[in-house]
Chains A and B, each alone.
Chain A
Amino acid sequence: MSMTEYKAKRDSCRQKIASKYDILGFISSGTYGRVYKAKSKNKDDGKEYAIKKFKPDKEGEAATYIGISQSACREIALCRELHHENIVGLQEVLLEDKSIHMVFEYAEHDLLQIIGFHSHPERKFMSEYTIKSFLWQLLNGVAYLHANWVMHRDLKPANILVTANGVVKVGDLGLARLFYKPLQPLFNGDKVVVTIWYRAPELLLGSRHYTKAIDIWAIGCIFAELITLRPIFKGEEAKVENKKTVPFQKNQLQKIFDILGNPTKERWPTIDQQPEYPNLSSFRQTPNILRSLYQSWPIKSDQGCNLLAAMLEYDPAKRITAEEALNHPYFQEDPKPGMDSFAGQPVEFPLRRITNEDKDMRATAPVQKAHPVPAVKDDRTTKRPRVE
């Protein structure tokens, strides 16, 4: 029998996005779809939102619609359950135009944009207070994820949002998943996780059963990048030639070894169980220079260096956990972290740029003027590798 009647009934009571939100403009696009800035039409709310519109998952030349993507599924399922100050909040999910629209709380900035702003036109370092507040809040959000058995698996500056009030919001849970007693090895689900520069050594060595420690490695990389404004391990990604095999990321590992020295059985007792272990003999021997490198950086705290080293620990079993990191002595010493990472800072960040160029969801309200920003071409946004 037909479901026409049922569908008609449901379709008729579905609220239009345009009846609830004013679209202010287009923010960005990616493999998943497009993001728009919007404002609630509700006078009592009046808050700003980011609406993520997913591209329908299509397949084959005829482009048959095959349902919502795994990534959208994960993000909806997890965001619907997670409620935390440092995790981007999901307001609601709407269906329209055969697409899923996730309505998130709006965040004016992200760490990629903030790092970029500090690097151009000339490099001006962030204050230690701001770095420490970003780091603490990021760890706070990730500790909450891990306590709830959620692994993020794609932590990188672009995915760490910051509100106009300096509050960190971990975003983009499209690769995140539950890891409580998985029905099959995590590797079977997604062959490649985490953007290459932030990818943990156990992943680069082909580990089948990785843990939440991969998120901590990425946070260590982000911590270093907040200090120096440059990615700490900026390797070249070996291209995936066919979908079945994952290439060995020799260049990325070399970048890590250049700073942390070669991993040994002493530092990482189970390293010989990693599938790519035999490949390690081809690397030149290098010493661990992390501490001396850190001395040349603008932050002088020894505890800061200890924390960084603990997050960039080779052995995932010995790597510090998010919960432990939150209690690290580095956060006890001055300047102490705060919930407004921008407090007392003279720097005024440019607002997120939005445009009116998108033809899909046309702006229904005039585009607001952003602060004047020098039109620097930021290669970081265009060339930065992404996890597909």
Chain B
Amino acid sequence: MAANFWTSSHATHWILDRRRLEEAMKEDLEYVDIATLTKIKMWYYNIIGKIGKRLQFRQQVVATAIVYFKRFYTKNSMRSTDPSLVAATCIYLACKIEECPQHIKHIITEMKNALANHGGFDYDTSKVAEFEFYLLEELEFYLIVYHPYRDLTIIAKNLKLEESNLQTACMATKKGVHHNAPQIEGHGINNRNMVQWFADLNVEIEEIIEITQEILSLYSIWKDYSEESIPAMIQSLKRPSRPTTPQQLQQQLLPQQQQQQQQQQQ
């Protein structure tokens, strides 16, 4: 575990394949497109970050809370759950696991402030505490999360990178999907002969390319991200389901018609 990432539950249970991630988004994608869904998620990550700042958490606590949030949504749709309750509970649990427990009331107060102009936060202590059970279950009780910050610092030192490169890499890991430290490093390093360095890493170049592409597409979504547009996006994600095809509509109406016919016959 702590001494070895590869034997940790993070490595053995929580590196998910693309198919599973796509499966988790299926329901949401019937209502919004992938760019919109990504932006909505970013918005919630930002909420978690804001609350972390307000309560003066270390970055690691915020990162753990965000990973919990992401893991929850690899099994559930955003549509059928309330991400604000999930986010608040993730923060509460992450504080305990990272050994800087916060009173549940502080988190709820900050959540209310952060969502004051975005539909509010209608949950009290007992609701958040109750939801902690569900969250634990979804996380399969695997609570220790690895973050690449330590590795980033070490590698930056090895490569004599500047602070700004490191910042970029940190941002990329925060917003990114994968948590596989060395592979993300490649980003932000230019003008250097990296061939030997990558060879020493002992990771597949295909994987690095895939992750680089992932990060690039994330950046392109991020480019036109604006906070003001998020509420409307959430609304369209949460809009009531309605039959999408004429056939489905027909099926829904069928029982009514039959009833009417029966009534007419009587």
Contact = CB atoms under 8 A, between A and B. Distances in A.
Interface residues on A, range: 35 or more
Interface stretch (B19-27, B136-144, B170-178): B136-144
Nearest to B138: A10
A70 B100 CA distance: 10
A3 B131 contact: yes
A184 B100 contact: yes
B81 A70 contact: no
Nearest to B85: A3
A170 to B, nearest CB: 15
Contacts of B101: 70
Interface of B: 1-4, 8-9, 58, 60-61, 76, 80-82, 85, 92-93, 96-101, 104, 125-126, 128-134, 136-137, 141-144, 150, 238
B1 A82 contact: yes
Nearest to B99: A189
B1 A10 contact: no
Given A65-B126, A67-B92, A1 B82 contact: yes
Given A68-B136, A81-B1, A73 B129 contact: no
A93 B9 CA distance: 15
A187 to B, nearest CB: 12
Given A64-B126, A81-B9, A6 B81 contact: yes
A312 B28 CA distance: 61
Chain B interface, DSSP helix/strand/loop, else mixed? helix
Interface stretch (A117-125, A175-183, A313-321, A370-378): A175-183
A70 B101 CA distance: 8
A74 B65 CA distance: 16
Contacts of B142: 80-81
Given A64-B125, A67-B132, A70-B101, A80 B2 contact: no
Interface stretch (A132-140, A142-150, A206-214, A215-223): A142-150
A80 B132 contact: no
A175 B141 CA distance: 18
A125 B161 CA distance: 63
A67 B135 CA distance: 11
A44 interface: no
A70 to B, nearest CB: 6
A2 B1 CA distance: 37
Contacts of A78: 144
Contact of B129 (A3, A67, A82, A148): A67
Nearest to A68: B132
A182 B60 CA distance: 11
A186 to B, nearest CB: 9
B98 A3 contact: no
B137 A183 contact: no
Interface in A219-270: none
Given A77-B97, A98-B133, A149-B3, A66 B144 contact: no
Nearest to B133: A95
B150 A181 contact: yes
A94 to B, nearest CB: 9
